[in-house]
Amino acid sequence: MRICLPDFASPNTVNGVAFPDLNGKCIVVIGGTTGLGLSAARAFVLHGARVVVVGRNPASVASARQALGASALALAADAVDPATAPRAIELAVREFGGFHGLYHVAGGSGRKLGDGPLHELTDEGWRATLDLNLTSLVWSNRAAVRRFLEQGSGGSILNMGSVLGWSPSPRHFATHAYAAAKAAVVGFTKSIAASYAARNIRCNVLAPALIETPMSERATRDEAIQRFMKTKQPLDGGRIGQPADLDAAAVYFLSDASRFTTGQVLAVDGGWCVSEGQCESSSIQ
Which residues are the active-site residues? 178
Q: What is the Cβ-side half-sphere exposure of residue 269, based on CA atoms within 13 angstroms?
A: 24
CA–CA gap between residue 72 and residue 52 (Å, rounded): 6
- Nearest 5°: the CA angle 133, 249, 33 is 50
Task: Give dist(CA 170, CA 180) in Å, integer.
Answer: 14
For residue 283, give the DSSP letter.
G
How far is residue 113's CA from residue 131's CA, in Å, rounded to a whole number? 11
DSSP 6-67: PPTTS--EETTEEPS--TT-EEEEET-SSHHHHHHHHHHHHTT-EEEEEES-HHHHHHHHHH
Strand order through the sheet with 101-104: 72-76, 50-55, 26-30, 101-104, 155-160, 201-208, 265-268
Rounded CA separation 106/49 (Å): 20
- Are residues 36 and 243 in contact, defined by beta-carbon separation less than 8 angstroms? yes
By the 10 Å C-beta count (0-12 exposed, 13-18 middle, 19+ buried), 172 is classed as middle
Q: Where are the beta strands (DSSP E) in 86-220?
A: 101-104, 155-160, 201-208
Dihedral, CA atoms, 233, 239, 243, 248, nearest 10 degrees? -60
